[in-house]
A and B are shown apart, each in its own frame.
Chain A
């Protein structure tokens, strides 16, 4: 069986940053990524990011991915990357089962960082399985990775940052966005993103949602309606819209199923997007030497995923005997950056959620 010091599951911003910091400390690692390339969510983000310069703010997501990948490629002796490889099994004795080209591979490791990110939530309504109905992430992958338009006339469901940003990217690609529907009475995402859409003529309909989809073989029309403050449809407010695509963006939930396989202590925390592991201040789970970083332990942002990755990489290396020459300084800096990113009003729910999972 292959022996590895550290296995990092997921090659998104969290996983890449963890590998870099471990390597800086002298610890070798293996990054396992199920996609055909590393970069995670970033490879489809064509917009400029928020945050501060330390987390590459104002750089476009795709370019941040390039920076993080280049950082990792600087350590060819210490960091190995396996793409098109999915982790399908995890055991308490730190054996990891990988699936690559229909073949199972087993790896024995001393420590694991799980950085699998999050997956899109689905929404229940009549005919929600018609072709033409996509998750916002799928639309982004189609457009920004493969250069394929999802349709010509689109309605977006959900006004969080992702819904607003993907709507804007659809317009940039030349697609007509009829409106954005939001069940709550106020817009969910940053208002700068909302204003950006509104001035391009896109209506944002708060207290509205999708009632049903209509179409024989593919999506042809949708029915939307106004909601009361209990989120029930108000009678007589139905409206029919002719669309060929519908894009659903109602949140993400952490991809934490691997953690359940080793019976990590977990908790359902709605503020963090779903089922998440309990962690200590260094992101170690209830299973020794199993750490988590990024969206898998609370859906947040790439900026914080990067810093969490650095933090766990740093800490894991030290635990295995590889102490970074600037350990103390870096540790404090990463903690500081995370606190700074989360200290505003948009970080409030997150802060409450994170308190709930502290061991």
Chain B
């Protein structure tokens, strides 16, 4: 339960995902389930694809038609609550996730894929790591994840 251990229920998670056919292109998923005073996701999106409005306590809503999956909101969210996802083909999904631990992963490495409860669920391939000055130290990591984990994968962990 989100309120007792920080793990959002599956129903909640699914409520933020668009229909599967929209995911053929990359889309931002905002896992932000509370009315908190915060709005950088909305103000940072260059395509006006995230709406919060005048009252910054309102939860963000993504306009999936407008969202290009560029990933800018991903490293601008102070809650690290946004990622982008795309269903590439029948085997793989591509995620862009925020990452603030060091050392950073490197392109080509295999890392563990972790779910919202912090458990390792699969292996994932690091496709790209970007960290520009505008990212302000939050790296954007592009990973290839087996498609069956599309609603479960949330972050990566270095394999030991």
Contact = CB atoms under 8 A, between A and B. Distances in A.
A249 to B, nearest CB: 16
A123 to B, nearest CB: 21
Contacts of B3: 186-187, 191
B4 A50 contact: no
Nearest to B43: A53
A198 B4 contact: no
Given A195-B31, A195-B81, A203 B5 contact: yes
Interface in B17-64: 31-40, 43-44, 54-57
Contacts of A197: 6
Given A172-B101, A341-B56, A187 B4 contact: yes
Contact of B34 (A47, A191, A347): A191
Give the size category of A's interface with B.
35 or more
Contact of A340 (B56, B116, B136): B56
A185 B57 CA distance: 24
A199 B78 contact: no
Nearest to B156: A199
Among B4, B6, B39, B57: residue with most chain A CB under 10 A: B6
Given A195-B8, A195-B81, A343-B57, A303 B117 contact: no
A204 B7 CA distance: 10
A304 B32 CA distance: 22
Contact of A206 (B5, B37, B79, B115): B5
Contacts, number: 133
Contacts of A191: 2-3, 6, 8, 33-34
Interface in A197-225: 197-204, 206
Nearest to B138: A48
A192 B32 contact: yes
Interface in B61-76: 76
Interface in B106-160: 114-118, 136-138, 154-155, 157
A231 to B, nearest CB: 16
Contacts of A346: 34-37, 57
Nearest to A206: B4
Nearest to A339: B55
Nearest to A51: B37
A106 B43 CA distance: 47
Contacts of A193: 79
A171 B158 CA distance: 14
Contacts of A37: none
A303 B154 CA distance: 29
A58 interface: yes
B56 A199 contact: no
A52 B57 CA distance: 10
Given A192-B31, A198-B116, A199-B116, A47 B78 contact: yes
B80 A202 contact: no
A31 to B, nearest CB: 27
A344 B5 contact: no
Interface in A37-95: 47-53, 57-60, 63
A223 B146 CA distance: 42
A199 B35 contact: no
B40 A58 contact: yes
Contacts of B32: 192
B57 A196 contact: no
Nearest to A342: B37
A277 B150 CA distance: 53
Contact of A60 (B7, B37, B77, B136): B136
A325 interface: no
A246 interface: no
Contact of A187 (B6, B76, B116): B6
Interface string A238-275: 00000000000000000000000000000000000000
19 contacts: A51-B37, A52-B43, A53-B40, A53-B43, A58-B40, A58-B76, A190-B36, A191-B2, A191-B8, A192-B79, A195-B116, A198-B7, A203-B5, A204-B6, A206-B4, A206-B5, A340-B56, A343-B37, A346-B57
Interface of B: 2-8, 31-40, 43-44, 54-57, 76-81, 100-102, 114-118, 136-138, 154-155, 157
Given A53-B39, A171-B101, A195-B7, 10 more contacts: A47-B78, A58-B78, A172-B100, A197-B6, A199-B117, A199-B118, A303-B37, A340-B37, A346-B37, A346-B57
